[in-house]
Chain A
Amino acid sequence: MKNLESTMAGTVFTVNVAVGEEVSAGQVVMVLESMKMEIPIEAETAGKIATINAGEGDFVNEGDVLVTFE
């Protein structure tokens, strides 16, 4: 199980994946909005999404777990 954490504080702008989806390394799984910028959050390695812990409009802090992989 590997976690993907938020790189910075911000608001979830879009969630680009669904639970159970297979993603490849480098794929954008979420986009945050912070400091008026779009911040893409990319998967570090390939894997299957187990949980998604934040929805559109949620505030997330730096280091918060955004998604977990199986």
Chain B
Amino acid sequence: MKLTLRVWRQRNADADGAMSTYEVDGISSDMSFLEMLDTLNEELILRGEDPVAFDHDCREGICGACSLVINGDAHGPERTTTCQLHMRSFKDGDTIDIEPWRASAFPVIKDLVVDRSAFDRIIQAGGYVTAPTGAAPEAHATAVPKADADFAFEHAECIGCGACVAACPNGAAMLFTSAKVNHLNVLPQGAPERETRVLDMVAQMDEEGFGGCTLTGECATACPKGIPLMSITSMNREWLRATRKAGKR
């Protein structure tokens, strides 16, 4: 098929950006969206033009590197990562808009590549269990009810892509932060740091300049891993509990 692409081009963080238009032809419906962009880039290189920069790595939907807003939707029209989106979701003659994640906490590095290091700093603030190597008790010493283990897993699935932030009208990072808080706080191993974890991670999230949450729900709709909106409610409960407990001390 033949497509018209309107792509955000921005030379670097300090430069102004704008949408540029490109035509691509001979696109097969079996191609992934990123393979379609590969095709465009091969042509641009041979024409002596700068290829479109975009983040990608595993192309299996798990590393969380790819991050395109396609026709206004984070990761495009299907509920998946950009790398798992295939051209069969589009028709011959379509015009497709391709933009980077847009959020003040995710500044653009070049074209479609943004800086998501704020997510790393949120994890560094408390998204772990303090368990130095070698100090671990026998794995079966603590049984974990299957329902709790499943709840933890469901939240641990987050790939840190940032689609939740890109989709949110406020640019909030509540879904990302709550996914890690819920994963660890429900497990017995995470219990000793339960309060500090949620307080510190939320504080860091605010410091990074993410917006406030108004429970719009766009985040959960865009999430390629299906982290539920209820995750935010659970985190709010954890935060309230931790705040009250801190007040009593």
Instruction: Say whether A associates with B.
Output: no
Instruction: Report which B residues bind A (CB closer than 8 A).
Output: none
A interface, CB within 8 angstroms of B: none
